[in-house]
Chains A and B, each alone.
Chain A
């Protein structure tokens, strides 16, 4: 039997607000436990939530970016369940009336474009963290994260493979960072997802029974967890068992999912509108304003890069997957005045390679766009050769000097004086009579030897094109 996989994702993006969604406490990551939890976050008796308007604006920005319906009137609800890191015994979320309604997003997988539906996106508060180690059989509670604003982005079950799911998640990841609404830091839990996975015989219209895999915080885990889960479900069905509707956890060490709770054990969350909060009202004017403030979005930028800079699809993706990278690239072009091709080669080649090697992203690049542009300008005007440029790049990476300072200091300037080059060529010819003979008798390979000798004597500073041409003329057969 041929099986088809059906996947829907619930992505939790932490909104980049300074303070929490319903209190004034800071959202900064990594503070000492419970130092960023105020009376409201602790759920003390008598405290009340007040919506951080910035969270609403960020959610709205996401909504207009995916062309979604924006609810003119959305409502916060209480999602009731007991857990020690949930101080109030309920989570404030949105249920029946979310702020962002239906929208769409296009993904590209193996050269094909596919449209994925976004069902909704709603605002909610994060819970705290339970720490089960270091407390001699007790659990510790850290409420620093409690009340952190989240945007939960729920997709339609439109994805048909783990690859598509990853492409969709990456697409959202790129988008939220472009929009400046989420820092996308997956290690710190700022961007994570739950995957709803089911299988069905190919051609069948009804969905199979799904399992929900919780809390996946890397693209790699999403792919592995889904693939493992699909295999597990197919195995069960093929051996005559049925899939159980349940929540599962992915164990990245063992690369497997295991059951957390079944449908029967699932909480009845008893959602109801939170009487402490007023409905969120979004006017047409506010939507227009949010639309007007949208930056150029990733797809549009990619298209523009292809047209404006003549780069291919793969390179365009590389240059636009983060807004910082795209901005860097364009800043280099504009500051260096060089043609795009040279900039593209150097940004996606040497620079990207070096960043990758050191595990840095473009914002952490030791070479700022201005110094990098300085290097490219000297290549373009033939002050240095491509080979010398690599040496200058190394020096730029390890110092704060400009390319010009490095070139000057190390005397790397290309020798463009043909008289000087000619003298060196003559010297090489005179000192290597045997090789000259070989070359003249038809051994073409020996030509490279002469080039090498000249470059050695000029310490690489001679223009290779010029050396070639002059050598050819001198050794005319």
Chain B
């Protein structure tokens, strides 16, 4: 059962080949069996079985939708009512959200089952899942390698068939990079497409939730439920949600693919480049046309991102002050002591580093030189994309410069770690949708292909990615030991 996709399982549930309770029980057993992967921070066994029971009733009443009874799991950044929502941090280890994020509400309404809450880099700050207070997640393809981050628990859980699909969030690549490292499909929607309400903020102008699944078809199904206007999020866009499954098989004849020459520089090793080239070749066989394009400002993405994201996070994380909820130090002497020790003890070093960078960048005398300058660069990068996407339908490139690196390999060198997001960050700065699909292996580890589309053209992206999965079987590979 666990090797089936959402689309397949939905059929099985409808045909009463198995019940949601059986499906859920099987996945709960797998989660236990593979607990060494450390994917889950919280497993909500009781709640999951209760949801499955309700789902089975809905199915037998003929009221089931495509996600009814499907066992999913959610990144621990989404608030879940009455269930611990830690955001991967000691700061919120004791926090039970009193409300559901909009995304969670939508999955609940769709009758999906929540297996639990997934491990992640602390407050989504990291590219390897090593900054989690709950310990690193292992890459299911190579237990000595990282699963990527920050949605590492999500990527690993889906790759290891512990959940049929999972939610992730992507601020600088946090859906696409772990999807690539774990050999699954991950979509970061257009900024404003999926509500951020109840999704604990890292960098508000960049954060976007999205689906992580084994197939593009499943990603379309999950996105269908996640996407849409939410009056509780001012940055959510009131635009109709198209049927994402409808055009999945549309022909790609005449599709114009842009390959930015800046994506294929010295940073990309030849094997990685080969994977992308092979994938592009597959597209030309499907009738696509390939042109080289240039985005001259894209190499400024990392410096701009590492001003804007920390600046926003420095304010977003101020609410964690030990006053109303979350970690509070023992016996504070006075207010300052309460702040200093609660935050000092509650946050890990990567979070502290980014708060410090952001606070510095926003300080009087530095604001213009850092924050404003970074915003100007952001505009330039958006303009680069706008220009290119007026000439081509999609942009393709690598997701990461290397396959999954080793646990501990980069955790001592933040700059080295930041550079691993060089191909994903620009998309967040521009607010565009992009996805990562498995496209091959390097050193026996999965490698992703990134496809970037124009604003709100998720349906087109899914179509382009789905057609590739019809021609290839990279997405069907399973890690050894995951039978």
A9 vs B98: C-alpha distance when bound (angstroms)? 42
Chain B, 288-321, CB within 8 A of any chain A CB:
311-312, 314-315, 317-321
- CB of A48 within 8 A of CB of B197, answer yes
- CB of A48 within 8 A of CB of B319, answer no
Contacts of B235 in A (CB 8 A): 48, 275-278
- CB of A80 within 8 A of CB of B319, answer no
* Nearest-neighbor residue (CB-CB) of B364 within chain A: A268
- CB of B101 within 8 A of CB of A46, answer yes
Asked if A47 CB lies within 8 Å of chain B CBs, one says yes
Contacts of B199 in A (CB 8 A): 46
Asked if B359 CB lies within 8 Å of chain A CBs, one says yes
A88 vs B231: C-alpha distance when bound (angstroms)? 21
Asked if A84 CB lies within 8 Å of chain B CBs, one says yes
Contacts of B312 in A (CB 8 A): 275
* Number of chain B residues whose Cβ lies closer than 8 Å to a Cβ of chain A: 44
Contacts of A277 in B (CB 8 A): 234-235
Contacts of A90 in B (CB 8 A): 315, 318
Asked if A87 CB lies within 8 Å of chain B CBs, one says yes
- CB of B98 within 8 A of CB of A39, answer yes
Best-buried of B78, B79, B199, B318 by chain A (most CB within 10 Å): B318
- CB of B319 within 8 A of CB of A89, answer yes
Given known pairs A51-B234, A278-B234, the reply for A44 and B325 (CB within 8 Å) is yes
Asked if A189 CB lies within 8 Å of chain B CBs, one says no
Asked if B259 CB lies within 8 Å of chain A CBs, one says no
Contacts of A88 in B (CB 8 A): 315, 318-319
Given known pairs A39-B98, A275-B235, the reply for A46 and B198 (CB within 8 Å) is yes
- CB of A50 within 8 A of CB of B234, answer yes
* Nearest-neighbor residue (CB-CB) of A143 within chain B: B324
B70-89 contact mask (Cβ, 8 Å, vs A): 1 or 0:
00000000110000010100
Tally of A-B residue pairs with Cβ under 8 A? 99
Contacts of B339 in A (CB 8 A): 82
- CB of B97 within 8 A of CB of A272, answer no
B310-340 contact mask (Cβ, 8 Å, vs A): 1 or 0:
0110110111110111000000000100010
A50 vs B78: C-alpha distance when bound (angstroms)? 19
B397-417 contact mask (Cβ, 8 Å, vs A): 1 or 0:
000000000000000000000
Chain A residues touching B, range = 20 to 34
Given known pairs A48-B233, A275-B205, A276-B204, the reply for A80 and B95 (CB within 8 Å) is no
Contacts of A325 in B (CB 8 A): none
- CB of B95 within 8 A of CB of A45, answer yes
Given known pairs A46-B97, A48-B233, A88-B319, the reply for A270 and B87 (CB within 8 Å) is no
Chain A, 124-143, CB within 8 A of any chain B CB:
141
- CB of B233 within 8 A of CB of A80, answer no
Asked if A173 CB lies within 8 Å of chain B CBs, one says no
* Nearest-neighbor residue (CB-CB) of A270 within chain B: B362
Min C-beta distance of B318 to chain A, whole Å: 2
A49 vs B312: C-alpha distance when bound (angstroms)? 15
Asked if A42 CB lies within 8 Å of chain B CBs, one says yes
Asked if A413 CB lies within 8 Å of chain B CBs, one says no
Best-buried of A44, A46, A82, A278 by chain B (most CB within 10 Å): A46
17 chain-A/chain-B pairs, Cβ below 8 angstroms? A44-B99, A46-B85, A46-B198, A48-B234, A50-B231, A50-B232, A50-B233, A50-B234, A80-B314, A82-B321, A84-B323, A90-B315, A270-B363, A272-B362, A276-B204, A277-B235, A278-B235
* Interface positions of A (Cβ within 8 A of B): 39, 42-51, 78, 80, 82, 84, 87-90, 141, 268, 270-272, 275-278
Q: Which 8 A-B pairs have the closest CB atoms?
A: A89-B318, A275-B205, A270-B362, A275-B204, A46-B198, A43-B319, A45-B200, A46-B79
